[in-house]
């Protein structure tokens, strides 16, 4: 899968992309990330990418020309461009979640446009971008961190990116519930014991315990998620018995 990122702060990206799982995924050719500096597409001698808003008021607005030109020039080099989502990261977008990550992971290529300053010229939103995504109801100084978050969440869903092939299946949110608790050695630490069932090797019992723990913590921490989760008869009975 290929990501093309359009930003005024390209230097933000390498440190994260060159470490850990995303680095390995890039080295193995599972993902490919191209970061484009919007300022390279300005034509004036000061490389102006922003300007004062019409109508007055504070702050600066990202100019349309370099944004259109950067995205169009990269699109122009590509085949089959109609189906490439051009996503603006903005607090006004639909709120990112696991099912949007899933949906995006099906695309072979995605463009990500990072907003900066107080805003972007509305014509970019109306005539260039095809989707708008927010990573939550709070305002950051720009779309760079949201773009990294989106790439991270989407990349780990791609085949072979995670070392464990079942890695993403049991994740919190993947199954509509929060994930069950994990333990590793030692079996006792400062007097706190690992639950006995996990030491038995009895997989049917362990699966049942994990499912119940996932239900319990979802009920406790995110009861809103239970309303949308796919629950079996046993799940419902377990929850009923808790009352």
* Contact flag: residue 89 with ligand ADE (CB under 6 A): yes
Which SS3 state, helix, strand or coil, does residue 14 take?
Answer: helix
Q: Are strands 192-193 and 188-189 parallel, antiparallel or unpaired?
A: antiparallel
Instruction: State which residue, 79 or 139, has the beta carbon closest to ligand ADE.
Output: 139
Q: How far is the CB of 83 from ligand ADE (least distance, A)?
A: 23
Q: Which of 3, 33, 143, 218 binds ligand ADE (CB under 6 A)?
A: 143
Q: Are strands 119-120 and 109-114 parallel, antiparallel or unpaired?
A: unpaired
Q: Which of 37, 105, 134, 218 binds ligand ADE (CB under 6 A)?
A: 134
Encoded tokens for 96: 């990112």
Q: How far is the CB of 126 from ligand ADE (least distance, A)?
A: 18
**CB contact at 8 A, 96 and 151:** no
* Contact flag: residue 59 with ligand ADE (CB under 6 A): no
Encoded tokens for 135: 């990573």
Q: Which position among 10, 64, 85, 91 bears the catalytic label?
A: 91
**CB contact at 8 A, 31 and 161:** yes
Residue 28 catalytic? no
Strand (E) or helix (H) holding 196: helix 196-199
**CB contact at 8 A, 206 and 200:** yes
Encoded tokens for 175: 């199954």
**Between residue 98 and residue 117, which ones bind ligand ADE under the rule CB under 6 A?**
115
Residue 91 catalytic? yes
Q: Which of 10, 64, 85, 91 binds ligand ADE (CB under 6 A)?
A: 91
Residues within the interface to ligand ADE (CB under 6 A): 89-91, 115, 134-136, 138-140, 142-143, 146
Catalytic residues: 91, 118, 156, 171
């Amino acid at each position: 899968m290929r990501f093309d990122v359009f930003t005024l702060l390209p230097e933000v990206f390498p440190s994260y992309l060159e470490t850990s799982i995303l680095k390995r995924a890039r080295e193995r050719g599972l993902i490919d990330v191209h970061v484009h500096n919007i300022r390279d597409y300005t034509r004036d001698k000061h490389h102006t990418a922003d300007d004062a808003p019409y109508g007055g008021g504070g702050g600066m607005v990202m100019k349309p020309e370099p944004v259109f030109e950067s995205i169009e020039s990269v699109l122009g080099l590509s085949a089959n461009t109609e189906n490439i989502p051009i996503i603006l990261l903005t607090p006004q977008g639909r709120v990112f979640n696991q099912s949007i990550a899933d949906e995006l992971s099906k695309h072979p290529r995605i463009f990500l446009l990072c907003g900066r300053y107080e805003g972007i010229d509305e014509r970019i939103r109306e005539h260039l971008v095809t989707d708008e995504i927010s990573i939550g109801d709070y305002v950051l100084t720009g779309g760079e961190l949201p773009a990294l978050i989106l790439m991270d969440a989407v990349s780990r869903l791609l085949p072979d990116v995670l070392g464990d092939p079942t890695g993403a299946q049991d994740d919190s949110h993947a199954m509509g519930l929060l994930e069950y608790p994990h333990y590793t050695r030692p079996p006792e630490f400062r007097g706190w014991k690992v639950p006995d069932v996990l030491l038995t090797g009895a997989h049917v019992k362990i699966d049942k315990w994990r499912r119940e723990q996932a239900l319990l913590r979802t009920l406790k921490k995110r009861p809103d998620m239970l309303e949308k989760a796919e629950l079996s008869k046993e799940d419902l009975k377990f929850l009923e018995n808790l009352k």
